[in-house]
Every structure is written in C-alpha cells, then in structure tokens.
Amino acid sequence: MRKRAVIAVAWANILWWLGATVVSAAPVLVQDGVPRATIVVPEGAGETTRQAAAELARYVKAISGGELPTVAAAQAVAGVCPVRVGVRDGLLAEETEFLQGHAEGVVIRVADDAVVLCGGSERGTLFAVYRFLDQYLGCRWLAPDIEFVPAAVTLAPAVGRTMTAPAFEHRFFVDRANAACLSWGLKVGMNGYYSPDSAPVNGQCFYLPPQLPGCHTYCQVIPPDKYFATHPEWYPLIKEQRVPSRDNVQLCVTAEGLADEFARNIVAIFDGDPNCRITSISPNDGYGWCECERCQKLDRDLCGARTTRQGLAGDRPFMGDRVFWFANEVARRVAVKHPDRLLLVLAYVNYAEPPDTVKPLPNVVPYLCHYAPADYSRAIADPASEANRQFDVLLRKWAVAAPHLLFYSYVSKSMWWRLPRPVQRTFAEDIRYLHSLGIRRYYCQSTLSDWKLDGPLYYVIARLLWDPEANPVAVAEDWTRHMFGAVAPAMNDFYRHVDDSVRRTGKPYSEDPPSQAPGLYSPADIECARAALARAAKSADSAAGLDRIKAVSDTFEYGWQMVLAIEMMQRYRDELDIDAATLVKEHGQKALALCRNSGAARFVESMDLNIELGEFASGFGKAETKGGRTCWNADETGPGDTSAGWATVVIRAADATQPVTVAMDVWGESALDGIVVNTDGERRSYAQGGIWTPVKPEVPLSGQARWETLVFRIPPAAMAPGKRTQTIGLGGGDSQIWVAHIRVGDAPPK
C-alpha cells in the first residue's frame, strides 16, 4: 500500500518533469517548492540507509517545502533526477575503490542528471547524506537542538564531487541519555558512544554495554554486594583489612580466581549483545590499591615497585604495570571467545605512564587521560607549558608502545565550575598533534548541550576529527555566522577576547578554580569581551538571536563574577582582610543568581562558615547544631567512611617570632587531642611532603557532651617564619571533631 502511494507520487513528479523544459548544468531537486527528483535506495536497503533517505527527504522539505519521494532502485523512473542514497551501482571505479578502503568514507557526486550519496558502509551513507545537506544545501547542526536550515523554494546544488573519510577511526563523545545529543553527534560525524537501541538506525555506531556505562568499572564487574561474602580476598587489603567499597578502592588483582570471574562476566555481556564491541575494564576512580604481599610482589617484579615519574600526580606508587598486567589477564581470557572486542583500560593518575614491562595485548586499548599532568591553557606540544611538557613525554612513549590507544580529552571539565575555559584553539592543535603521532582514537568528556559556555568547541572538534588540517578559526566563524547571523563579527570578537585573556597571562590551569583562577584571566581582555557582547546584543536582528546572545552573556557574566569572588577569597586568605570576605559573598551571589553550579555554590556558601567560625577555614562539613550552637565537623565526608576528613584554618599572626594563642570552642566528645601548625608555610599535605608541627591544648577535652574552650599556645618554632598568616590543621583519618568558633590572640569570646 505504502509503496503504491510512493510510486504514484513519483509519476506525478515525472509528468511535471516531462512538461518542463528547464535545462541546467546543476540538477534541480525542487523547483518553486515542487519536487523534481526522486530519492533512490538500494533494493532491500537496511534500516540505516532508509533512515539516511528519510533524513534527506525531511531536510529537503524543511528547506524548500518540496517532498521528494523515495523508491527502491528497481522502481526508479528514467527521466527523473535520481538522488541515489547508498546505491553502489553507477559508482565510478575510483569511487568504489575509495569506499572499499574506508568503511566510513563518503562519496558525494552532484552531476547534471543525478546525485550520488554513498558510504563505504551504511553508516558512511548516513554521514554522506548529512555532509551533502551541510556542504551542498547549507544546513548546519550547531548544537543539540539548535540547527540552521536555510530557506529556498528551488534547490539546485552545484555540480561537484566530495570524497572524504574521517581522519580518526573512533570519534567518541558521551551524552547517552540525551536523544538530542546523540542525534547531533551523527549529523556532525561522531561514531560513539550511542546506545544499543539506536544502533540499527545509525549503522551500528559504538556503544558501551548498559551494564557498564562508565569507564571506572572494577567494582561494577565484581560488585561487593554479590561477591564480598564468598570472596573477600578479591577486594583490596588496606591497612590489614579487606575493604568491600564499590567506589573508591580497587581489587586485589593477584587473587586466585578473580581474573577468571572478571573475564566470565565480560564474556557474558558480549555473549548477550553481539553488536556491543567495546567496554571498559578499568580501575575505580581514586586510589585504594591492594597492599597484600602478592600484589606488592607483582609491583616489585614488574616495575621494581617504583613511584610515579610524572610530576603532578605526586610521588605515588606507580600502578601502570599492575593495572595493565591484570587487564591482559582478563583480555587473554575474553579473547578466547571474543577476540575482536575492545577492552578499554584507563591510563590515569598514578597509572598514566606506560607500563615498564607489561605490553598491552592487541584487544586492550589504553584509554589515556590528559589529566595529570595537564595544562589546558596551552596545547600539549607547547614547550612553554611545564605540565604539558611532562604529559607530552608520556604521550610520546604511549604513541610508540600502543598507537591504538584512545585519547581521553577533557573537552568538558565539571570541576572548572563553568568558568570561561577557552580551549578551542588548544584542542584543535592537540587533534592535529595526536594525528601526527599516529593516534586515531579520540574521546571527548562532554557536556554537548552547554554551547552557551563552550561556544563552537564541539563543532570544531567534530570537524577536525574528520579533517585535522581544517582551519579551526574558519570553522568556528562558520558556526558563529549560522548561530548569530548579522552580529557574528561581534561574537567572533567576544570569543577571541576570552581566548586572549588566558593566553596573555600565560598562566596554566587544570581543574582547581580556587587556586588556579586568580590571575588566570587578563581583566582588560575580559572587558573587551564584555563590550563585544554588548555590541552584539545592541545589534541583534531577531528575538531568537537576542536570546542566544543573552544565554552566552549570562553564562559569561556568571563565570566572571565567580572569578572575582575567587580572587577576593584569595585576598581574604592571604591578608585576612574582612572587606574581601564581604566581596566574596557579593560577587558570588551575583554569579549564582545567573547560573547555578554546585561547586561554585558550595564555595560561596563556605563564606558563611568563615564569617561564623571567625577565621578563614576550609575542609569542614555542612553546618550542624550541638548543645544549642551552630558548629561544623572537620570530617566533611562524614563518619564511618574510609575517607580522611581534614580541615584547615588560616589565622592572623602579625609577628611570627612571638607565640600566638588560639582559643577554640570544641564539642567535648570530639576526637581532638591536638592541632598541627604548617611550619614550612607551603600548605602542602603530608603526602606532598608538607611539614606540620603538633601543638597540644593547655587542658585536654573532657569527653563530655558539652561545649569547651581549648587553648593552644603556638610557639614561634612551630610557625612559618616571616608570614603574616599561619595555617593550622585538625582531624585526619575518620576522626569526628565539631568546632563552633575560633579566636586568635586577645579577641573576645563569642
């Protein structure tokens, strides 16, 4: 029934065509809103090819109002311009040869009597259709749910040919739950990560198994709820105890039977879904490595139990050999049944460097994170960046040891609190650089929908993964032209000034706004950026355009107010200037009125703690009430977990050669028998080599449920010499300490 209707439309079309006498070098698909061409798909076309044809018809109609019929090849009618979607008959010899070498390759040929849109696979055909709509008909997919579709009642694409294939084999982003993001990804040529249910219509793009949706999977594969009772020995021995935590500890990788069970569970996932071709078998986030004798012997045998070499991960035990040794144990077992499936293994924090002796098996894909060390204000290959220079050393080693690695790029960085993060140019340079090293797999940690913050970043990256030599500035300007129309020049200025603001200061940053945002942006460039936004808003030629400018403007203004708040916080901490504390709140509240961000909100709220507690403090938990007083616990992660709770307080000490008295109102039941004073003045942790001198109170706590005032007399020998402020620390381990107020010197009690 449906087919007959399609043919009827096709005939009506032909009658019109026969009556016309238009002769044109360019094929006419639609004339004055009337269809003049037919979409032709192969006999028995697969779901993805039919989807490609449907998308073509949908956009042609959206542009011109003309509805192109779709027919199978056998029903194609002579005399009507065919738009052949995924039809291999009629390809020229060099086109066939090109597609044979590139499964995702795209051939677009626009001739005066036909249009050919064909891929090396069904997925390639889908990409060919989107490329044609973009390059020949003028559509743009700017962000999830934001597209530019031109209006033209007559469609006559210029004669020409495009043969292209993606430069990167794997082009992954992540926003699986969001249909608009997945749809956007296809249109701009990304091939992972999607979902199993969308695989039939996107040519089997890559997806992670729903059972293991993330990258940190140790305890998802071996969940303690299921196994700890029968196999406690599979979980890490930490301080002589087996720890069954799901999240922040690892596995005892040398335990008998663990690799068998791990591999069995992975095999079962692949058995259950023949289309799933990739999963992660990586450690959990954080540390928590097993300290058992066998695991330690493994480290000694494989890498001499050395510590890390890359600077910013700190001097921790190097775990690269252990992690990839276990990955190989699992991979060898999985390969017996599924040799073609890929097993991702993070190379991250204290296992970011390539292993010393273990060579990852071919089905193990190292998943190298540009995380520690990292400096996002410069490109990886920029010799001016110390952090990136360190990263580059390990990247180059990896590129030799395992060029099939997947590069994990922090395109989105939630820890940066949505502050301006001008990384477009650096990421473009990095993509070119990775390509030159032979790396062909690229993953974006992504918040695709946040175009208000990131602008054309994702769009530029998607383009460069197909063509690393594309000019990122031209691609970005194409994006602003379609996003903002006539005010695009002002918006280009805006993005350029934000970029310049970080470039000019030359400061590095990675992920810690309180320590890295102060001084990172040059205020003069920020003012220029702001002025450019104002110019754009003034000249906006439509309400929709103005809405977009306002969305960018609000996000930017939020970010800048937060930067000012952070800078004031630094002044407060360094000089204990109470006016600065007030300004932290003012800027922070202005920022949070424009945009909510949980990290930023916690930062601003922490000012209440400082003001109430009476001194500059950090690391305390949420406000509580005990014995009728508001107080804060020094173990912000809460009791009963294994995370160390540790709080610090910065106090004024005008003259470090004189003793200072600190009075602290502490709940009597607290586990506090002393404080420590940062004697080297560097505020580094013990793990980072910081020097802290213990100081006992004049009278210890009673252990009773009541408020008591502890008095500490800090001698000059414990203090950092020559500093106007001193840092004291309290807590640690899982100790519970509640503090209501702190007074320094002769300040009156509250």
Name the residues that contact Zn ion, by CB under 5 A. 252, 290, 292, 295
Q: CA–CA separation, 456 vs 93, rounded Å?
A: 38
Q: CA–CA separation, 429 vs 21, rounded Å?
A: 51
Residue 290 or 347 having the CB closest to Zn ion: 290
Nearest to 108 by CA among 139, 130, 80, 89: 130
Burial of 173 (0-12, 13-18, 19+ CB in 10 A): buried
Residue 326 or 558 having the CB closest to Zn ion: 326
Residue 292 or 653 having the CB closest to Zn ion: 292
Q: How far is CA 277 from CA 60, 220, 386, 426, 736, in A?
A: 34, 18, 37, 31, 47
The least distance separating Zn ion from the CB of residue 288, rounded to whole angstroms, comes to: 12
The least distance separating Zn ion from the CB of residue 354, rounded to whole angstroms, comes to: 22
Residue 233 or 586 having the CB closest to Zn ion: 233
The least distance separating Zn ion from the CB of residue 669, rounded to whole angstroms, comes to: 37
Q: CA–CA separation, 406 vs 441, rounded Å?
A: 5
The least distance separating Zn ion from the CB of residue 294, rounded to whole angstroms, comes to: 5
Other beta carbons within 10 Å of 679: 17
The least distance separating Zn ion from the CB of residue 210, rounded to whole angstroms, comes to: 30
Q: At a CB cut-off of 8 Å and minimum separation 6, what does 567 contact?
A: 517, 518, 519
Q: CA–CA separation, 506 vs 526, rounded Å?
A: 15
Helix axes 122-135, 47-64, angle to 10 degrees: 10
- φ/ψ of 171, rounded to 5, equals -130, 90
Q: At a CB cut-off of 8 Å and minimum separation 6, what does 322 contact?
A: 253, 289, 295, 298, 299, 302, 351
Does residue 515 contact residue 603 with C-beta atoms inside 8 Å?
Answer: no
Residue 295 or 461 having the CB closest to Zn ion: 295
Other beta carbons within 10 Å of 343: 24
The least distance separating Zn ion from the CB of residue 237, rounded to whole angstroms, comes to: 6
Does residue 595 contact residue 453 with C-beta atoms inside 8 Å?
Answer: no
Q: CA–CA separation, 699 vs 710, rounded Å?
A: 7
Residue 51 or 328 having the CB closest to Zn ion: 328
The least distance separating Zn ion from the CB of residue 291, rounded to whole angstroms, comes to: 7
The least distance separating Zn ion from the CB of residue 325, rounded to whole angstroms, comes to: 12
Nearest to 190 by CA among 179, 212, 201, 174: 174
Residue 292 or 342 having the CB closest to Zn ion: 292
Tokens of 547: 């809405």
- φ/ψ of 573, rounded to 5, equals -70, -40
Residue 142 or 292 having the CB closest to Zn ion: 292
Residue 108 or 253 having the CB closest to Zn ion: 253
Quote the Cα angle for 185-186-188, to 5°.
70
Name the DSSP class of 749.
P
Tokens of 406: 């997947």
Residue 51 or 254 having the CB closest to Zn ion: 254
The least distance separating Zn ion from the CB of residue 231, rounded to whole angstroms, comes to: 12
The least distance separating Zn ion from the CB of residue 420, rounded to whole angstroms, comes to: 44
Q: CA–CA separation, 720 vs 607, rounded Å?
A: 25
The least distance separating Zn ion from the CB of residue 296, rounded to whole angstroms, comes to: 8
The least distance separating Zn ion from the CB of residue 376, rounded to whole angstroms, comes to: 35
Tokens of 710: 């502890």
Which amino acid would we find at residue 448?
L
Does residue 368 contact residue 405 with C-beta atoms inside 8 Å?
Answer: yes
Q: CA–CA separation, 519 vs 506, rounded Å?
A: 10
Q: What is the 3-state secondary structure (H, E, C) of 14-75?
A: HHHHHHCCCCCCCCCCEECCEECEEEEECCCCCHHHHHHHHHHHHHHHHHHCCCCCEEEHHH
Name the DSSP class of 285.
S
Residue 252 or 379 having the CB closest to Zn ion: 252
Q: CA–CA separation, 542 vs 437, rounded Å?
A: 46
Q: How far is CA 613 from CA 616, 682, 703, in A?
A: 8, 23, 22
The least distance separating Zn ion from the CB of residue 299, rounded to whole angstroms, comes to: 10
Residue 290 or 744 having the CB closest to Zn ion: 290
Residue 258 or 552 having the CB closest to Zn ion: 258
Helix axes 457-466, 472-484, angle to 10 degrees: 130
Residue 242 or 440 having the CB closest to Zn ion: 242
Quote the Cα angle for 497-501-506, to 5°.
145
The least distance separating Zn ion from the CB of residue 249, rounded to whole angstroms, comes to: 11
Residue 350 or 409 having the CB closest to Zn ion: 350
The least distance separating Zn ion from the CB of residue 238, rounded to whole angstroms, comes to: 10
The least distance separating Zn ion from the CB of residue 309, rounded to whole angstroms, comes to: 23
Q: At a CB cut-off of 8 Å and minimum separation 6, what does 228 contact?
A: 234, 235, 242, 244
Binning the chain into helix, strand and coil, the percentages to the nearest 5 are: 40, 20, 40
Residue 291 or 557 having the CB closest to Zn ion: 291
